[in-house]
Amino acid sequence: MLRNESSGVFFTLLSCPRRRASLIYTEILKFIFFIFYKMKEPAEHKQEKEKCILVGIATPKVRPWLAQEQLAELGRLAETAGAIVTATYLQRVQNFSPATLIGEGKVEEIKHALTQLDAKMVVFDDDLSGSQVRNLEQRLPGIKVLDRTGLILDIFAKHAITAESRLMVEVAQLQYMMPRLTRAWTHLCRQHNGGIGTKGPGETQLETDRRMIRKRIQELKKKLAKIEDARESQAEKRNDIFQVGIVGYTNAGKSTLTNRLTGADVYVEDKLFATLDSTTRKLYLDGENIILSDTVGFIRKLPHNLIETFKSTLGVAAHADCILEVVDGSAPDYREHLEVTHKTLEGIIDESTPRIRVFNKVEIADEARRTELLQNYPEAIQISAKENIGMERLRKEFRDQLERWKERRTAREAEEKERAEAAWPEE
Ligand SMILES: Nc1nc2c(ncn2[C@@H]2O[C@H](COP(=O)(O)OP(=O)(O)OP(=O)(O)O)[C@@H](O)[C@H]2O)c(=O)[nH]1
Ligand SMILES: [Mg+2]
């Protein structure tokens, strides 16, 4: 009935030439918008997902569940990068094979599986040397061979938004690329129009390419240093406000917690490395503002040069008056997450900076886990950013830390005044 009525209206509209023209016009507009939207759609949506096979290598010392968990994490990384995982292989070895990392037999097995599953990519959980990539590509013709770092860099490149994080990613990519350069690569000289004067006497093309990369890295680092200087002076300006730096393993819920506490709208996603650029939000607490800085998460086997490169983003946490460490309390390997976070922050954050530790996602952790966390980490607060659990306790902890910070500041100011007076005694 309804359909008859509406189609009746439609035909009445069509019978009037002016209305018909207007309808056609609307349809054309819709079509243009559709095309425009499709063009604007991120490349990762348009690209067909690549099928891949994952390969993990574990020494017999690594416990089986942990080895599986590490491989599952590699799977999440691959999915975040836009791939479809079709199979996973875990090889337990005493020693890594220098030529191909895994044994000959395993390479053959994987080759067969790649054909069967019509997959064109294989991702290793461990870093591969340039020669290992070459050897594997020779044995697996037409297959893209990637390692964990390559995958992480790919995700970083996709998620970098600001000029700073883009520069950082480019530096890390070039550093990663350098030892992997082979003669088979397209010469960078040609790509960069480098002509006369770019090739010194007696040098090989490879050396020239490496020299160009080094030069580019230097240029990028100079640009980064400028941005860093600007940030440092901004941080100094904010010295009079209590600052909390949020740190933790990727996907722990740092951005969700920032949003929960401040009502902000920081990007949250069940993906690894959803946040790359640090975001700063104000939290109003009993008539006072404090600043929360959400930043890049950590992961196991995070390449060292990536940590080095991202040090300045993490510097946001380094300048903080208090560190809020967010841990996924429901993760089977939360202890490893704690260790990775601790190791990554070594040398970046002053040991004396006060810390608050929260175990997030407790609403999905079982009773035994919650008891374990309480017994082993009695000072930590169990929360759920998603379900709004434990927020009052956390706010109270912020208040306490804020009070202590004010006391320290008053003491410091008094000390400075005393010193100044001692240097310039009043007549
Ligand atoms: N069940 C549950 N899920 C949560 C909770 N907090 C966050 N999540 C989910 O965990 C996933 C990751 O959350 P994010 O806030 O993006 O995590 P992050 O630590 O900022 O992650 P990165 O930016 O990638 O380092 C999302 O799917 C969230 O919805 C929680 O308390 N309980
Ligand atoms: Mg985040």
Structural domain spans, the chain: 46-154, 160-231, 241-413
Q: What is the pLDDT of residue 361?
A: 98
Q: What is the pLDDT of residue 313?
A: 65
Q: What is the pLDDT of residue 199?
A: 40
Q: Ligand 1: which atom is nearest the Cα of residue 252? A: 19
Nearest CA to ligand 1 atom 1: 361
- Per-residue CA distances from 426 to 45, 79, 219, 416, 422 (Å): 71, 69, 52, 16, 9
Nearest CA to ligand 1 atom 26: 270
From 77, 249, 251, the mutation candidate for ligand 1 (largest count of ligand atoms within 8 A of CB) is 251
258 CB within 6 A, ligand 1? no
Determine the distance separating the centroid of ligand 1 and the alpha carbon of 251, expressed in angstroms. 5
253 CB within 6 A, ligand 1? yes
Indicate the pairing of strand 381-382 with strand 322-328. unpaired
Closest ligand to the CA of 324: 1
For residues 244 and 1, give the distance between their C-alpha atoms in angstroms, rounded to a whole number.
Answer: 62
Determine the distance separating the centroid of ligand 1 and the alpha carbon of 385, expressed in angstroms. 8
Looking at the domain that runs over 241-413, which CATH code has it been given? Answer: 3.40.50.300
Q: Ligand 1: which atom is nearest the Cα of residue 270? A: 27
Q: What is the pLDDT of residue 60?
A: 83
Q: Ligand 1: which atom is nearest the Cα of residue 296? A: 25
279 CB within 6 A, ligand 1? no
Taking the model in full, what pTM does it have? Answer: 0.77
Asked: is 46-154 a CATH 3.40.640.10 domain? The reply is no
From 73, 77, 256, 316, the mutation candidate for ligand 1 (largest count of ligand atoms within 8 A of CB) is 256
pLDDT by 10-residue block (mean), the chain, 427 residues: 43 60 70 59 60 90 86 93 93 83 90 94 91 91 91 86 85 84 48 39 66 90 86 68 92 94 75 72 87 87 76 71 96 94 85 94 97 97 97 96 92 86 70
Query: Which residues neighbour 68 within 8 Å (Cβ) at sequence distance 6 or greater?
Result: 90
Closest ligand to the CA of 259: 1
CA 87 to chain CA mean position, Å: 24
For 252-256, the CB contacts below 8 A with 24+ separation are: 252/297, 252/326, 252/327, 252/328, 252/337, 252/360, 253/326, 253/328, 253/360, 253/361, 253/385, 253/386, 254/294, 254/295, 254/297, 254/326, 255/279, 255/294, 256/360, 256/385, 256/386
Closest ligand to the CA of 297: 1
From 268, 276, 363, the mutation candidate for ligand 1 (largest count of ligand atoms within 8 A of CB) is 268
275 CB within 6 A, ligand 1? yes
Do the Cβ atoms of 165 and 223 come closer than 8 Å?
Answer: no
Q: Ligand 1: which atom is nearest the Cα of residue 384? A: 31
Determine the distance separating the centroid of ligand 1 and the alpha carbon of 386, expressed in angstroms. 8
Determine the distance separating the centroid of ligand 1 and the alpha carbon of 273, expressed in angstroms. 11
Closest ligand to the CA of 159: 1
269 CB within 6 A, ligand 1? yes
Q: What is the pLDDT of residue 15?
A: 60
